Structures are given as C-alpha cells and as structure tokens.
Chain A
Amino acid sequence: MSARPVSSFSKTYGHLWFVLPGFAFFLAVMIFPLLFATGLSMTNWSGLGNDVSFIGLANYVEILTHWPFYRAAMHNAFIFLAILVFQHTVGLYLAVLLNEKPRFMQFYRTVLFLPVIMSLVATGFVWTLMLSPNIGLINPMLEKIGLGFLAQQWLSNPTWALIMIIMVTAWNSMGWAIIIYLAGLQNVPEELRQAAEMDGANSRQVFWRVVFPQLSPAFTALTVLTFIGTFRTFDVVYVLTGPLGAPNFATDVLGTLIYRTAFGGSSFSSADIRFAFGVAMALLTMVIMAVICWGLIRILRKREIES
C-alpha cells in the first residue's frame, strides 16, 4: 500500500482544520456582533426607524460627561466593595467552619449554596415581597420580636435601598465565596497546619500565617469573579427596584442604565430611547471592566505562591 506523503504545510497547519468549526462559531456569535455593535455605537440610531447617521465617537464623548453613567458606576463600585468585603470575611469564615467538617455538613453546604442555583428573578421577587412595607414579612417580624424600631421602608429610602440590593446580592453570591474558599482550604495539606502547630503557632497564627496565604489563588479568583459579577449586575436591581433604580435612581446601576437607555424604562413613552448611545455605554463599560480585570489579576497574581 502506498500513501501519499503528508505535505509539510499540512503537518504544520493541518490541526487548524479542527479549530475551524469552533472558530466559525466564535466568529458568528462573538466577533461579528461585537464589530457590529462597535459600528452601531458610532451612529445616532434611536432603536426605531431609519434615521441613522454616522457620528463617530460622539456617543463616547458624551458618556464622559453623562452624569447618570458615573452615578450608576459609583453604585456598581459601592456594591462591589461591599460584596468583596462580605465574601472575604463572612464567606471565608463560613468556608472555614464548613472545612471543620461539622455534623450535617452536607446540609449546611446545600443550604448555603442554594441561593446561587436559584433564579434571581424568582428569589428577587420573593425578597421584594418580604421587604415591602405594606405586605412584607420583615417589618412585622421585627415588631413581633420587639425590634419594631428597626422597621424601615427598606426599598424606598435611598440609602437603605442600596443596602438591600447589596444584601440580596450578598445572600445570592455567598455560595460562590464559600465553594471557592472551601476548595482552597481543602487543598491546604493537613501536615502544613500540623507543622505550624508543632512550631508553636496557636490556631489563629496557624490560620493567618500558614493557611490563609495558601488561599491566595482563591482570593484572586473570587475577587475577579466578584468584580465581574457586581459590575454586570442587573437582575437584582431590576426585580427589586425596577428599571429606574428606584428610589430616585439611588440603586441605578450600569446594567439598568444601559437597559433603560437602549430599550426604554417606561411603558408609556419611548421618546427617551437611544439605542446606539446605550450600545456605546455597554461597550465602554466592557472595555473598562476588561482593563480593570487585567490589572486586578496582575496585581493579585504577584501575591500568589510559586509552586
């Protein structure tokens, strides 16, 4: 039998045929829409009608002085910081507790992870019902246990509303923190702790000086995931306080702002819809997030251990 010799070209590049289907798919669903959106963001298209003209970077320039964009970004940043602190404290603490393999560990783990797998739209709706000052459960419960003075118009007070958004987000995302930290903790060899203990460290010193530094990959992953998650948050806000980020935009985030700009926030008028401007905001947000993510990963990776 004689086979045709394989050409050196196909030896070097033949494997690319196998990449082609995936690449074509990627091109169709990622690259092309991205280019299309980039083009669209340089027009003044409102989303309706044929009135489209090229306006260059005017949309981007306008964003720089668009106060709602900064307001929304500030809220995202605030949520990010709060969730970050929460996950690296409460999340870590719960992970450490779970790592001690308590009785009913499976149960606790399931309960703590459950919010992650439940639809935020559904749970968010339940939260609005619970927090409602009219039909909610929280205020009457506080009154019943003698803490009536703590009762609040949770979602109508601008400060509290943002805190509630943070709380529900924290509740929802804590499962990730726990799972990521738990995985990290379970990778720390038992002998490392024992060695530190032998060397005279008390349990706090064992944790902070020996165990915690081993968790830096988990810390990095969680920080970056939290950053991405909180800066693209939409559903919590949309469900809890509506597309306008009620009250008075106190909970408006980039997600709702972009949605409202591109699709409208009122069922009575679409006069304020500016689709192309919304696309420009979305793209700018994406670019800024990518840059910050890159920076975060660079900084945090440096702390990690060479293995």
Chain B
Amino acid sequence: MTAATPAPPMIRMEGVDKFFGDLHVLKDINIEVPAGQVVVVLGPSGSGKSTLCRAINRLEPINQGVIEVDGKPLPAEGKALAGLRADVGMVFQQFNLFAHKTIADNVALAPVKVRKMNKGEARQHAMGLLERVGITDQAEKYPAQLSGGQQQRAAIARALAMKPKVMLFDEPTSALDPEMVQEVLDVMTNLAKEGMTMLVVTHEMGFARRAANRVVFMSDGEIVEDSTPDVFFTAPKSDRAKDFLGKILTH
C-alpha cells in the first residue's frame, strides 16, 4: 500500500462551542468523521445532538471553534455556503418536503436550480432515486398525500439527488408512526452499505447496532463517549451512558 497523504476527514469539528442565550448547548466539541464512516449520535433529549448535526451545514451558526467539511472550513453565509450545503445532504425530523410541489419535483428541484442540470435529465435521475427508495408510484402526488414513511423516503431521495459527499440525518424516524420506522431505516441501512458517509442523530438503537461503525454519546452538550456500537452497548464507560442505556434498553 502506498503511504499517500491521508485524505482529510469528511467532517471535522474542533473546539466547537454554541450558546442559545445563556444556555451552553455545545461544549468544546471535537470530532472527526472519516469518509465512508457511519456515525450514530445518541443521547437524551436536550443533549445538543440535533444542534451538532445542524451546525455541520451551518443551519445553526456556532459561537466558537472550527468546522470543516471535506477539508474546507465552513464559509460565512452566502454563495460559498450554498455551494457547501449542496454537497451535504440533510434529512429532517419533520421531512420538510416542499408542500406545493409534487414528489418528483421535490427531488428534481435542487439539481436543476443549483447544479443547473437540464430538466429532463434531472427528472430521469429523480425517478431513479424514487425507485431506489421504493416510492416510484407516488411521484406525481403532493407530500400531504403520502404517509410519513413515504415522505421521509422521498426526503432522502431529495437529498441524494444532489449527489452529496455526506448525509446528515436529524432524528429521521422520530416523527413517524412505529410501523413506518423500519421502511426508512432500511433505506438508510442500504445507503450505509453503499459506503455513504453518514452522521445520524437517532433514538433507534437497533439501527445503531446494525449499521453504525461508531457511536457517539452526547449529554449536556458534551461528547461523553465515542466508541464502536459493540463496546458502547455492552460496556459503556461513563455513568451518564449507563444511566441512558438503562432507561431505554430495559423496557
């Protein structure tokens, strides 16, 4: 093997601090996510894990520290930031599909408007992605006509349409009815198998065990543990992680 200069991590956060008023929501966060890795961020609500996820594409600006995506520091608001966001896919808890556009248009919109892809090509690409997430037959419907699970799969297709280098998932299954969680997790698991770099904020322990390369546990705005799923679930080191796992795994 050749000892080339190592590729920069896909995501790097160094000394990141974030406040909401007096509330210190991210405390000196340091984390690196190498390309191809699937990182699951766990933690109780209010631990700052969603904020961490949203800070990576600057939906939440940070107060201090450095965030780099693919070796480049996050630019300030403007054209350069839009360019970076185009390379970072994001999936939200509330799906946030564009309510006035059909599913196919939702998926094809950004490639046309941001990547300047021609409409026919974008549409074809969109249909391919909808097939990949299993909702081709919903292409001409509006988001409100779909079930939550279908909407979230469409939202994943919309993010993938930009051919992102990394995908951020901000509690993608938390707003879903229980019977729809699995269909979304299946899409995510396939994505992970295909080698997509992913940072997933979730409460789905099954997904963390099955698909994650690494588990990051957050509590009170700090990263408390950073280990493999096996180690984290069987032998957590910190009391806070033990307490958290005790609450969710026993019932």
A binds B: no
> Which residues of A are interface residues toward B (Cβ below 8 A)?
none
